[in-house]
Chain A
């Protein structure tokens, strides 16, 4: 009971504080906070908006898992951004070159994306253990190399119809139907009404759920996950316990990059190609989602949904003119900041309470003084 109370105290407290601070911000912008929140919630109640939110939450969640794998052992993979965009481009190109039975075609594209992401992140891991390069620096630089270098270069070379392309043919050659994961509108429509406005719920949602389950299994059931958490919890004890620190760094980076490779597939399945202006920033947003969800497979689900809801709300606020859409970025920032502080405070209280409770439990059961 107490445990549950503690687990809820931080998110609830953070939520209330965020609402208060956001309201002040809205009011300062000259908007009515109540009508802004009303518009946001009113729209979120619609099935079509919910589809939008889930479509946005899907890549955010995968990205958060990628970041969280590193965070679990105090590795900061800032390079998810570059890893997913690079993997996206390569997977799009490879997928467009072949025609295979659907299952194999989809698996091929996924495998390519995962391998490219893993290999690209692995560079930072290898640099860290062989040359002592801090992974934050190397992944930031690898982001620049991927986005402004490799992608810019390859994208031109792989441009469909080199001679006379129009705005609709910009990008790589489209992937044949067999390479695309179908939407899962049908599954949702069993429980609800038909989804309108031509909205499609991405099939990658299923993949994201599987990624979350795999991450949970890795952390709680697998030896590698134990080693990962131990290395993060106390690297010295982990090393003395036989966990090879260097190999863990490379493995964690590779695994993080592998998850990152899947992020771009959400957009790839929607557009069937790599367009010159893919959705950027998902890698960085994933870091925020991982922080908010405390690297926890379940917590990050809520965090991803919250961020997705706010992202989608930006468009709604712009349409209804209830507030400027930038308020959404402010809210995301506030919720993150407040949540991190709230987690820190409750963790400290909780740890003190636990020590006290343990001492008391012992005194009660044994009727003897515990060392003070």
Chain B
């Protein structure tokens, strides 16, 4: 029997990174095939190539045994491939039926044939065992129902191979169960499903086969038999990298950041961070481990002040910062390395020296309350360039002209030279080359020795274990475990992160 999808030797390069490096993937007909890997492992890129959103640089693709070459998603749809994106693409003010036919409306002389569309939709829904009221407004639906609309939309267009991009990321546990029931129905009706996820318990529950990607390469592809979450965690994280050396403790008894019973709600009013307590001392690095989307980003937002807290209090070196403006907090000494340097870190079209000033423009040497000190800012940027080894011909080039690693070194440099008392570093080495990675680690370690308190969030578990003095694990908005990095392996961490292992709550608190 020919495979539904066969990808052979797919390679995709972006400036500075190889997203997919000779990736092979075989998905049999009628199976649920999970693709897992850490963020940045190349899962999304691979799926974008398969769905025709990006061309591969090298490699071949076979769909049902025929060689294909997609240049747009429409080509993929014609071949029966449909994709359900992580972020829904639905019009809130339209009904379910209107959304489903949107872009492929059956018409008769310009008039939409709603009756016919509704009949067809009813047939599709019945065939696949999915229930939905075609006349509901999208805005009135729960998240799980909206996702079902997205799935039906793809099926309505005749897709036999479905790509679900992290479908559980937005769902609460009950909704995940419902989704899995739907997926089983689809499989029974003959569909093939490719399912991207990094929550291992879910992968093990629903998939028939599993492919693991790491650093853009396929590291394993196997049937889901006798595989454990620990095995998968190890495959995802890898153990071949040398652990960043743990040096002797520099933790002092002075509390820098004190977070007490902090709760943060998202836009919909759901608590995404719930009742969190921790302290970071001067000279201490506290690592937060967790699968992305478990409240880490929201916790960071609350600490730097871009999100409000619903309950609790935070103080920095004894000063209450719970209701301070972002600027006051930064002036007080909170340094921030954001998780995506292109979103919260840099002004890509502005010269390097202006980027170095960003976040510190009210303070010497960059400026004051009223004025920008151009000479001071430029001198300081030159200093960062030298000290943090930012490879650039000069400090007047735009930030976008630098490689990712050098952009990151600039950000680390601007934050660490601002004489901070607390550093919040989110994925500080994501997407940068090995040389830059080692440099960033070294800088963080030096700052720690000088008494800096650091909150480190990383998906790279080796980095987390190697740098942290203490590791806490965050799952569904709560701290569920507190571990000493000396006696924990990436494998153990993976188990706590996915909920496969638990610690009693007294220890975690």
Contact = CB atoms under 8 A, between A and B. Distances in A.
Are A and B a genuine interacting pair, yes or no? yes
Interface of A: 220-227, 229-230, 233-234, 236-244, 351, 354-355, 357-359, 361-362, 365-366, 370-372
A100 B369 CA distance: 36
Residue from B346, B354, B393 whose CB has the most chain A CB atoms within 10 Å: B393
A371 B433 contact: yes
Contacts of A230: 347, 350, 354, 358, 361
B343 interface: yes
Given A226-B361, A233-B349, A354-B397, A242 B372 contact: no
A372 B15 CA distance: 5
A240 B359 contact: yes
Contact of B371 (A222, A233, A354): A222
A243 B358 CA distance: 9
Given A223-B370, A223-B372, A362-B393, A234 B347 contact: yes
A242 B330 contact: yes
Contacts of A243: 326-327
B402 A240 contact: no
Contact of A361 (B326, B327, B393): B393
A243 B305 CA distance: 11
A188 B106 CA distance: 72
B371 A237 contact: no
A242 B331 contact: yes
A226 B372 contact: yes
29 contacts: A220-B374, A223-B362, A223-B367, A223-B371, A226-B361, A230-B354, A230-B358, A233-B347, A237-B338, A237-B346, A237-B347, A240-B326, A240-B336, A242-B327, A242-B329, A243-B327, A244-B325, A351-B398, A351-B400, A355-B400, A358-B397, A358-B402, A359-B401, A359-B403, A361-B393, A362-B392, A370-B403, A371-B15, A372-B15
Contacts of A220: 372, 374
A298 B369 CA distance: 27
B159 interface: no
Nearest to A243: B327
Contacts of A370: 391, 403
Contacts of B357: 226
Given A242-B359, A354-B401, A358-B392, A237 B343 contact: yes
A223 B368 contact: yes
Interface string B318-362: 000000011111110000101000011111111000100111111
A239 B306 contact: yes
Nearest to A370: B403
Nearest to B343: A236
B5 interface: no
B348 A234 contact: yes
A230 B398 CA distance: 14
Nearest to A366: B391
B405 interface: yes
B347 A242 contact: no
Interface of B: 13, 15-17, 304, 306, 325-331, 336, 338, 343-350, 354, 357-362, 367-372, 374, 391-393, 397-398, 400-405, 433
A224 to B, nearest CB: 8
A325 B347 CA distance: 45
B155 to A, nearest CB: 36
Contacts of A224: 370
Contacts of B354: 226, 230
Given A227-B361, A243-B327, A362-B391, 9 more contacts: A220-B372, A223-B361, A224-B370, A240-B359, A241-B330, A242-B362, A354-B398, A358-B397, A371-B16
A240 B304 contact: yes
B372 A241 contact: no
Contacts of A371: 15-17, 403-405, 433
A323 to B, nearest CB: 41
Contacts of A240: 304, 306, 326, 336, 338, 344-345, 359
Nearest to B338: A240
Contact of B325 (A222, A227, A242): A242
Nearest to B435: A371
A241 B358 contact: yes
Contact of A244 (B326, B367, B405): B326
B326 A242 contact: yes
B436 to A, nearest CB: 9
A221 B371 contact: yes
A236 B349 CA distance: 14
A354 B401 CA distance: 6
Nearest to B414: A241
Nearest to A231: B347
Given A223-B367, A236-B344, A372 B13 contact: yes
Contacts of B392: 358, 362
Contacts of B404: 371
A310 to B, nearest CB: 31
A237 B344 contact: yes
Contacts of B403: 359, 370-371
A219 to B, nearest CB: 10
A349 B393 CA distance: 19
A163 B344 CA distance: 64
Given A237-B343, A237-B345, A240-B338, A358 B393 contact: yes
A233 B350 contact: yes
A41 B376 CA distance: 48
A111 to B, nearest CB: 21
Given A223-B367, A358-B393, A371-B433, A244 B16 contact: no
Q: Which 8 A-B residue pairings sit nearest by Cβ, starting from the closest?
A: A242-B327, A241-B359, A361-B393, A233-B347, A358-B401, A240-B344, A355-B401, A371-B16
A239 B359 CA distance: 9
Contacts of B369: 223
B393 A365 contact: yes
Q: Which of A221, A361, A371, A372 has the most CB of B within 10 A?
A: A371
Nearest to A360: B393
A366 B345 CA distance: 27
